[in-house]
Structure 1
Amino acid sequence: MSIFSDNLRYLRVKHNLTQQKVADALKISRERYAKYEATTDPPLDCLQKISRFYFVSIDLLLSFDIRRVPYEDLLQLEENRILLPITVDSNGENRIEIIPEKARAGYLAGYSDPEFIEALQHISLPFLRNGKYRAFPVSGDSMPPHKEGSFVVGEYIERLRDVVDGKTYIIVTKTNGIAYKRLVRKGKNLFVAKSDNTVYEPYEVKASEVLEIWRYACSIATKEFEQDDLGVMSVKDLLQGIREDFSALRTEFGQRKR
């Protein structure tokens, strides 16, 4: 038996359905459906119908034994109607998974794997509700005052159109992996990812490259902020002071010239 046929039988029994009822929903004969629970693989159009009928992604149906993760705990998205490995507890409260630095490289391969997500450590924060949150490690010094070793907690967003220009996001892409950046929209299907540390050049991100996007919710610092740390706001204040001084000098020079 294949993983797919096992999943198909499990889902049918889980929902207390007969083979005939599922076949009727798929608009095929019961005999044809029975073969899918045995050894025959369905054609693509029928596979899509099965995926939509059970609200389970085709990838999960074909590649993962969904009996290994509590089926009811997977979060259902509204628009594309698939189940992702984003879990909540028995009370419906968020389980905030923590992506440790050592798991950072494997996240691209494991972000859609329920077993990978289930194995992560998790925390709960009582002030973060009504959303799905995940904690990602900060790498480098491109987004001060967040230091390397700290964590940024992001809220999962389903639609790229919900991205607000100038706000910060954890963005997971096929080419750059996990990055925490300030995003600015550039056209319909393109974003510019900017670092608050201006030493780093901004770069473009195609919408087609985006795997996940998480809106900044809060951060967890693991190192004490030091007085010598020059944060972004300090830089802005310094530049503003320079502008004001320059403006005052220019005004004074103009008055003297008169």
Structure 2
Amino acid sequence: MPDYKGEKFKNFLSKKSISAIKASEILGVSRQTVYQYFKSSALERETVNNILARFGVNEEDVFGDSDLKDKRLSNARYIGDPSIYDEVGETKFTEISPGRYRMGTELVPVYAQAGYLTGFADKEYLEELPKHYITVDRYVRGKYRSFEISGDSMDNGDIREAMPNGTIATAREVKKDHWISKLHNHQWPNWIFVHKTEGIIAKQIANQDVKNGVLVLRSLNPDKDKYPDFEVHLDEIEQIYNVVKRELK
């Protein structure tokens, strides 16, 4: 008799390239419930029946002791997609040609930025955000997010570095344990800061006082009367991202 371990259900999904998000849609449950299934040492009979019915498979296909066979997998109603998923079930990469991949990120448009400060750690908030896709030549690690730039503070007319109004900036989060050392701003000069009171700020780093945890931020716009340099303390910051790709409007 098969044992109904959640790990076997997780392996079944992995072999079919079905994400936790897609599985939750097929099963009619929340993504968090799917994650709970993965951790279970003995799924309830009702849950097992739902899995078998919704995926159109039998117990051996999902919970059997032998490896899943291709001929049995081909009987499932949902074949899956060519995406590769990370460990929490979010789409990261889809191969579009040899050595070229489409990477998906959450996009924080201008209209959603007011709620980002309280929602950036909320899965439900993030799931409501639209997706943005960029093309990369390899799998990359880390947390990536895309932000819509508003205003002209980062516009100096130089297409090599400017981020004018409407630009989509895709950026990689810098973990907090790296903030105690100098932020590297040579290869990637543009940054996104999530400030506790000012919200999302797109700027460059003019100076860093590592000892006191103070950054001097600057705008690219040459009008320094309107856009002067200013200081921020790292303890006022929730997240820091370095911009790796700009897509001008």
Q: Corresponding residue for 1:139?
A: 150
Structure 1 residue 176: Cα displacement: 1.5
Q: Corresponding residue for 1:149?
A: 166
| C-alpha distance 96-72 of structure 1, shift in aligned 2 (>3 A) | same
Deviations 1:104-141 (A, max 9, x none): 11111111111111111113222174133211111211
What CA RMSD, in Å, does the superposition of the two structures yield over aligned residues?
Answer: 3.1
Structure 1 residue 94: Cα displacement: 4.1
Within the candidate set 208, 225, 229, 1:185 is matched to 208
Q: Corresponding residue for 1:112?
A: 121
CA contact (8 A) 1:94 1:133 kept: no
2: CA distance, partners of 1:201 / 1:208: 21
2: CA distance, partners of 1:186 / 1:103: 32
Q: Corresponding residue for 2:48?
A: none
CA contact (8 A) 1:155 1:215 kept: yes
| C-alpha distance 149-11 of structure 1, shift in aligned 2 (>3 A) | closer
Q: Corresponding residue for 2:26?
A: none
Query: Greater Rg, structure 1 or structure 2?
Result: 1
Q: Corresponding residue for 1:73?
A: 88
1: CA distance, partners of 2:248 / 2:218: 21
Within the candidate set 156, 176, 181, 2:198 is matched to 176
| C-alpha distance 210-12 of structure 1, shift in aligned 2 (>3 A) | same
Query: Structure 1: any 5+ residue segments left out of the alignment?
Result: 1-8, 19-69, 75-86, 223-258
Give the structure with the larger helix fraction. Answer: 1
Query: Structure 2: any 5+ residue segments left out of the alignment?
Result: 1-32, 43-84, 96-101, 156-161
CA contact (8 A) 2:93 2:104 kept: no
* Normalised TM-score (structure 2): 0.53
SS at match of 2:191: strand
Structure 1 residue 89: Cα displacement: 4.4
Deviations 1:57-116 (A, max 9, x none): xxxxxxxxxxxxx99426xxxxxxxxxxxx444879742111111101111111111111
Within the candidate set 183, 191, 203, 2:230 is matched to 203
1:219 aligns with 2:246: yes
Give the structure with the larger strand fraction. Answer: 2
Give the letter aligned to residue 172 of structure 1.
Answer: V
Structure 1 residue 11: Cα displacement: 7.2
CA contact (8 A) 1:73 1:89 kept: no
SS at match of 2:136: coil
Number of equivalent positions: 153
2: CA distance, partners of 1:190 / 1:100: 28
SS at match of 2:135: coil
Q: Corresponding residue for 1:247?
A: none
Give the letter aligned to residue 233 of structure 2.
Answer: K
2: CA distance, partners of 1:221 / 1:151: 7
2: CA distance, partners of 1:156 / 1:105: 19
SS at match of 2:134: coil
CA contact (8 A) 1:165 1:185 kept: no
Q: Corresponding residue for 2:133?
A: 124
1: CA distance, partners of 2:86 / 2:103: 16
Give the letter aligned to residue 212 of structure 1.
Answer: Q
* Normalised TM-score (structure 1): 0.51
CA contact (8 A) 2:168 2:246 kept: yes
Q: Corresponding residue for 2:51?
A: none
